[in-house]
């Protein structure tokens, strides 16, 4: 998958709708224009008197609105607060910039698109999520090399748990006639130096980088859809992007989001700029 051609300063906040045949209930959504940007948002009706905006860690914009608020009133409020939304989005982008990992308490780590603050304590070797913290217990909390080993092992385990599940979920929503006939598709997790994913069409194997587990689920879905499209069309031409749009209508947003999170992918050689292939 080639590197994203979208500029890193783009700020379209959108919501990824379910693929066809999905049983999920489509949420109430809206959008407003702000200069050259389009801010898309999800509306949650609640028993409240005021309207509140919240930019989620994966970049989506959530609007908590009174049950009787009109769509026009909600759009007007979002439009008025658009500068604040963009500032929040830019702050998220800056936080994703690569920082050297020291594996000490206080560091921020990503998991499925959300940020968790690392906390290191003395205890039997273990890693687990506790609220918004990534808690690591280790015999010697000052041994940052050991802490780093435990964190990386935990990420590998989470990748083995989540990525096959996300892969299967995308396949389950695809029309049976979409993919070319042949042996059953295979998934393999592989640490690639400069790619989030790849497609070995000859063996019908989709390769995913384990570090995708650090990104939002919709980013994972985007990479899976992109690689599945390569089973039918090898080149990045008009037909390819038409197919990709059919699989995931708002893929440009998640491609851009993935580009912003490139610094999450680390190798023994250092930080690289991953891209689907």
Question: Could you tell me the residue ranges of all domains in the chain?
Answer: 28-95
Give the H/E segment covering residue 15. Answer: none
pLDDT tens digits, one per residue of 74-108: 999 999 999 888 888 877 766 655 567 889 999 98
pTM over 0.75: no
State which H helix or E strand residue 23 sits in.
none
Whole-angstrom distance, CA of residue 58 vs CA of residue 164: 21
For residue range 39-78, list pLDDT tens digits in order. Answer: 899 999 999 889 999 988 777 899 999 999 999 999 999 9
Least confident of 14-28, 111-125, 149-163, 209-223: 14-28
- What gap in Å lies between CA 100 and CA 94, rounded to an integer? 14
Which carries the bigger pLDDT value, residue 180 or residue 62? 62
Percent of the chain past pLDDT 70, that is, above it, reads: 82
Neighbours of 32 (CB within 10 A): 20
Q: Which residues pair with 110 in a beta bridge?
A: 115
Tokens of 207: 């390769």
């Amino acid at each position: 998958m080639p590197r994203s051609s979208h500029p890193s300063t783009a700020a379209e906040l959108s919501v990824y709708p379910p693929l066809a045949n999905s049983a999920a209930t489509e949420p109430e959504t809206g959008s407003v224009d702000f200069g050259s940007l389009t801010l898309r948002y999800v509306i949650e009706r609640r028993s409240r008197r005021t309207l509140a905006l919240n930019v989620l860690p994966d970049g989506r914009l959530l609007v908590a609105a009174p049950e009787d608020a009109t769509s026009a009133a909600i759009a007007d409020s979002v439009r008025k607060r658009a500068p604040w939304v963009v500032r929040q989005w830019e702050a998220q982008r800056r936080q994703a910039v690569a920082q050297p990992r020291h594996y000490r308490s206080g560091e921020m780590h990503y998991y499925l698109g959300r940020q968790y603050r690392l906390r290191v304590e003395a205890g039997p070797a273990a890693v687990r999520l506790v609220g918004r913290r990534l808690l690591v217990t280790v015999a010697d909390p000052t041994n940052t090399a050991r802490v780093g080993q435990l964190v990386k092992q935990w990420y590998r385990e989470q990748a083995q748990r989540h990525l096959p599940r996300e892969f299967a979920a995308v396949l389950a929503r695809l029309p049976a006639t979409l993919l070319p006939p042949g042996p059953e598709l295979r998934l393999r997790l592989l640490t690639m130096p400069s790619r989030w994913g790849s497609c070995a069409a000859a063996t019908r194997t989709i390769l995913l980088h384990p570090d995708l587990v650090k990104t939002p689920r919709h980013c994972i879905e985007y990479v899976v859809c992109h690689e599945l499209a390569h089973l039918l069309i090898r080149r990045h031409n008009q037909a390819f992007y038409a197919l990709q749009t059919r699989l995931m209508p708002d893929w440009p947003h998640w491609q851009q989001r993935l580009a912003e999170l490139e610094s999450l992918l680390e190798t023994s050689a250092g930080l690289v700029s991953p891209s689907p292939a």
